[in-house]
């Protein structure tokens, strides 16, 4: 959430930021108008309270003198108290409306973020590895997995509906091996492994910015008012909600594997076949809580941690920086890692690493103590990596005419060197 005091003092800065993010500035104007009204009412309340305090002193003095007129003063105080109650209720109602509207405003892009309307304005930062296979050389991961009989694309929809699959045999082993490999790598890099709840309450998912604006994208259990997590970012970031950490504890570095659940409400017709876009998928998440002055350096190191998985698996990838119009709601700066998908002849997102500055920390009330004074931390999150998409990249980049080789870094986790296509019957 944005800092209302800073918004009030710098309205032009926020109008410009919203414009760069393709967000209407009218929402900001509504908040500023409510803020003027709220401050006016608060001033009225302060005047009434000052008047009541003055009368209270007069009542005390009158009682001390034995003055019989004290009762009149008491009645005046009671009348003022009734007015104060009404004014305070009005102020609380306006403050609540302001907070609700602030929850819909996105974070402000960092000055280093390129300005652009959509993904076409995202600059490439660097590439690693050289793609050696293209659509001419490989079958799709969908066809390869079907031929290997490691993913059941038919019975998943029977069990749960579209965009669900069942991993079987070495498909399940590959998934488990990737999760183990990713977590082991990140723990070696200083992250603390966690396993958080997969269901969270409304307060928690609001803290990271999924609510209220993106309610339709979430799986909501109405009876209990609980949400299936769209990413482990939600419970990991909120782990320290409403707490004050010591400065010496920063930076906090957490990692977790969880299933992730997304309705993909805005993705109708996209990536229907295969494992690219599922309603349920596994992901290893990275989360950091950092001092404000360290957070952008921590973002760069998070990207290095995420890309190290791709390098160990020897999968070609590139890093792009998202422009202002393509960043996520809570982010101030984001890098995407995109892995080479031969059957599509292009790179596809496999990780997104973001610095959310103090935006989520304000919503979740996560602070640290510096020189005796509480300050908001900066929160960061990134995929390290999306497991299903990593499996897709392996099935295609490591594919030959006889099957799929297992990356060397995974062989101890898998217990095999390759998956062979069944021989065709003559």
Closest CA relative to residue 46, chosen from 101, 9, 83, 95: 83
Spell out the residues 6+ positions from residue 131 whose beta carbon is closer than 8 angstroms to its own. Answer: 316, 340, 342, 397
Helix (H, G, I), strand (E, B) or coil at 12: helix
Residues 6 or more apart whose CB falls under 8 angstroms from that of 252 comprise: 192, 240, 245, 287, 288, 289, 290
Cis omega before residue 251 (within 30°)? Answer: yes
Q: Give Cα separations from 8 to 32, 46, 88, 93, 322 (angstroms).
A: 7, 21, 21, 19, 28
Ranges of beta strands (E only) in 150-198 are 151-152, 166-167, 192-194
> Rounded to whole angstroms, how far apart are CA atoms 362 and 37?
23
Q: CA 46 to CA 83: how far, in whole Å?
A: 12
Strands (E), 112-242: 124-128, 151-152, 166-167, 192-194, 199-201, 219-221, 226-228
Q: Are the CB atoms for 175 and 167 separated by under 8 Å?
A: yes
**CB distance 394 to 419 below 8 Å:** no
> Annotated catalytic sites, by residue?
262, 277, 349, 352, 389
CB atoms within 10 A of CB 184: 12
Upper half-sphere CA count for residue 284 (Cβ side, 13 Å): 27
């Amino acid at each position: 959430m944005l800092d209302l005091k800073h918004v009030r003092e710098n309205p032009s800065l926020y109008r410009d930021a919203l414009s760069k993010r393709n967000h209407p500035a009218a929402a900001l104007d509504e908040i500023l108008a409510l803020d003027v009204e709220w401050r006016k009412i608060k001033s009225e309340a302060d005047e009434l309270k000052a008047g009541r305090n003055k009368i209270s002193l007069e009542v005390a003095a009158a009682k001390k003198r034995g003055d019989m007129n004290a009762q009149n003063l008491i009645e005046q105080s009671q009348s003022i108290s009734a007015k104060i109650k009404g004014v305070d209720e009005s102020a609380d109602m306006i403050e609540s409306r302001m907070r609700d509207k602030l929850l819909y405003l996105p974070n402000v892009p960092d000055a280093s973020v390129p300005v652009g309307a959509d993904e076409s304005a995202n600059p490439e930062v660097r590439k690693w590895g050289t793609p050696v296979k293209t659509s001419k050389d490989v079958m799709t991961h969908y066809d390869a997995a079907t031929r290997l009989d490691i993913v059941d694309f038919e019975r998943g929809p029977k069990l749960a509906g579209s965009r669900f699959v069942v991993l079987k045999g070495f498909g399940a082993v590959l998934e488990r091996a990737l999760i183990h490999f990713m977590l082991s790598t990140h723990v070696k890099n200083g992250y603390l492994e966690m396993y958080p709840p997969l269901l969270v309450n409304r307060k928690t998912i609001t803290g990271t910015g999924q609510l209220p604006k993106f309610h339709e994208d979430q799986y909501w259990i109405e009876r209990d008012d609980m949400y299936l997590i769209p990413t482990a970012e939600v419970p990991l970031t909120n782990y320290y909600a409403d707490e004050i950490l010591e400065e010496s504890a920063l930076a906090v570095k957490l990692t977790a594997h969880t299933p992730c659940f997304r309705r993909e409400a805005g993705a109708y017709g996209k990536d229907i076949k295969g494992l690219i876009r599922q309603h349920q998928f596994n992901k290893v998440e990275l989360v950091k809580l950092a001092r404000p002055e360290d957070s952008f350096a921590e973002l760069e190191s998070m990207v290095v941690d995420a890309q190290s998985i791709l390098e160990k698996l020897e999968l070609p990838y590139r890093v792009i920086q998202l422009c202002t119009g393509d960043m996520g709601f809570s982010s101030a700066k984001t890098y995407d890692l995109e892995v080479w998908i031969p059957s599509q002849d292009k790179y596809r997102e496999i990780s997104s690493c973001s610095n959310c500055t103090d935006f989520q920390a304000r919503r979740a009330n996560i602070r640290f103590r510096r020189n005796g004074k509480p300050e908001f931390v900066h929160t960061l999150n990134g995929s390290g990596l999306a497991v299903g998409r990593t499996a897709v990249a392996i099935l295609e980049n490591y594919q030959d005419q006889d099957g799929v080789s297992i990356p060397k870094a995974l062989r101890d986790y898998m217990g095999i060197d390759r998956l062979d296509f069944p021989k065709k019957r003559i």
